[in-house]
């Protein structure tokens, strides 16, 4: 896709210093919605994730998956000239986004308080493992660390089994989503007051924020929540069931759906059975309910049951592998898998934009940038640096 940048955030300019996932996911969301994102990377090295596999023609597919719609410039922030150039850029952007360990930007002399002198209206967002305050603030963190510390691993896995990390990097991604929300809120505040502000988002905080009913269950019952496999802890039946071919997911989230499920399975007698007549009762008698439903479900193949249950209005699904997700007609109809043309890697499939807007739609309009792809245009426009000076800066390792 090569169309021009568009969307409700067109006109917002972001200087993005982030690497790997949490920060790049934040800036990708904003870029998809039209913001101009200038990704600042170390000369010759770039974002750490440029070196993560798998690779497509020597280009990281990992990097390409979360850095679309961005520009790339290189700049060595440890050099005095690099800091000088950074401040020139900072004076002309709306947002600065970074995910270094707390204290790093202060050591560089490029922290929020310093940049405020250059750009009083700046919105300066920091993502870190544990936040800018607290006893763990200077500790390093990765996704697996915050999943473990934040409690989500403690409720994930088979019943009676060991805790299991969630397959997606939810520690990074959720922090990125919260940070993008914070940036948008701060931007609206600046529109109303003219004042920028500092945003501090911690991956650990973000994990705690999505524990929802796990915290509620513990505070009300005093019992520590444990892994329950694919079974919901409050709604029944809401879990996977075996069939003649493979497991399927069924979610009968209320008494009406329970009745529809029993009718579709030709076991209407269970509708009025006192053990299963209400959701709490189905929870108390879960094992009996599960066994009775399994007796019916093993009689047909999974795809047959999905057709029957879907026709009856009962939420259900096959358990798709990633290849099946890409082939799913609903996913395709919603443009959730898009093809982009990378200048080096060629055609590349990536996830699409999940936010659909009627008046100001965003778009995936370009592939992830090659390292330093936009040095010439950005430095000329925003810092007044000509060709000769660019070459000199490159020789000195500044860009």
Angstrom distance (rounded) from CA 186 to CA 189: 5
User: Which fold would CATH assign to domain 248-318?
Assistant: formyl-coa transferase, domain 3 (3.30.1540)
Closest CA to 92 of 117, 111, 119: 119
What is the CATH code for 13-210+328-395?
Answer: 3.40.50.10540
Quick one: pLDDT at residue 130?
98
Which residues of the chain are in CATH 3.40.50.10540 domains? Answer: 13-210+328-395
Ranges of the chain with pLDDT below 50: 1-3
Quick one: pLDDT at residue 2?
40
Angstrom distance (rounded) from CA 236 to CA 289: 9
**What SS3 class is residue 251?**
strand
Q: Of 16, 32, 172, 200, which residue is the catalytic one?
A: 172
Asked if residues 89 and 383 have their Cβ atoms less than 8 Å apart, the reply is: yes
Which residues of the chain are in CATH 3.30.1540.10 domains? Answer: 248-318
Angstrom distance (rounded) from CA 9 to CA 34: 5
Closest CA to 255 of 280, 230, 292: 280
pTM of the model: 0.94
* HEC profile of 121-176: CCEEEEEECCCCCCCCCCCCCCHHHHHHHCCCHHHCCCCCCCCCCCCCCHHHHHHH
The Cα diameter of the chain in Å comes to: 84
List helix spans (H) across the chain. Answer: 22-32, 61-66, 80-90, 104-108, 112-118, 143-149, 170-193, 203-209, 212-221, 255-264, 279-284, 286-297, 302-311, 322-327, 329-333, 375-383, 387-395
Catalytic-residue membership of 58:
no
Quick one: pLDDT at residue 381?
96
339's tokens: 């093809």
Quick one: pLDDT at residue 1?
38
Angstrom distance (rounded) from CA 30 to CA 184: 9
What residues does 348 pair with on adjacent strands?
A: 340
* Neighbouring residues of 185: CB distance < 8 A, sequence distance ≥ 6: none
DSSP 236: S
Burial of 363 (0-12, 13-18, 19+ CB in 10 A): buried
């Amino acid at each position: 896709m090569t169309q021009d940048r568009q969307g409700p955030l067109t006109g917002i300019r972001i200087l993005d210093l982030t690497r790997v996932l949490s920060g790049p996911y934040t800036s990708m969301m904003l870029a998809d919605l039209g913001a101009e994102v200038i990704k600042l990377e170390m000369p010759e090295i770039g974002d750490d994730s440029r070196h993560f596999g798998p690779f497509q023609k020597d280009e990281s597919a990992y990097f390409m998956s979360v850095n679309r719609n961005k520009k790339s410039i290189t700049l060595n922030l440890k050099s005095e000239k690099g800091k000088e150039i950074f401040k020139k850029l900072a004076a002309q952007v709306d947002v600065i986004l970074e995910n270094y360990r707390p204290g790093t930007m202060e050591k560089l002399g490029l922290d929020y308080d310093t940049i405020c002198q250059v750009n009083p209206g700046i919105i300066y967002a920091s993502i870190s493992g544990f936040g800018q305050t607290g006893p763990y603030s200077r500790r390093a963190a990765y996704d697996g660390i915050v999943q473990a510390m934040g409690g989500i691993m403690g409720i994930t896995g088979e019943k009676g089994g060991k805790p299991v990390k969630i397959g997606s990097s939810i520690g990074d991604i959720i922090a990125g989503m919260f940070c993008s929300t914070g940036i948008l809120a701060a931007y609206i505040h600046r529109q109303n007051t003219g004042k920028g502000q500092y945003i501090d988002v911690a991956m650990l905080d973000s994990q705690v924020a999505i524990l929802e009913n796990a915290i509620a269950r513990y505070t009300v019952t005093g019992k520590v929540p444990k892994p329950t496999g694919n079974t919901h802890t409050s709604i029944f039946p809401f879990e996977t069931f075996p069939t003649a071919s493979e497991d399927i997911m069924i979610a009968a989230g209320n008494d009406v759906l329970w009745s529809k499920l029993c009718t579709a399975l030709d076991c209407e007698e269970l509708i009025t059975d006192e053990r299963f007549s209400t959701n709490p009762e189905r929870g108390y008698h879960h094992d009996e309910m599960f066994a009775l439903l399994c007796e019916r479900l093993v009689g047909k193949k999974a795809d047959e049951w999905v057709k029957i249950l879907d026709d009856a209005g009962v939420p259900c699904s096959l358990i798709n592998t990633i290849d099946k997700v890409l082939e799913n007609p609903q996913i395709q109809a919603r443009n959730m898998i898009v093809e982009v043309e990378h200048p080096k890697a060629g055609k590349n499939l990536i996830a699409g934009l999940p936010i659909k807007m009627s008046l100001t739609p965003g778009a995936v309009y370009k592939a992830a940038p090659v390292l330093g792809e936009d040095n010439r245009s950005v430095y000329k426009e925003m810092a007044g640096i000509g060709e000769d000076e660019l070459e000199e800066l490159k020789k000195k390792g500044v860009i």
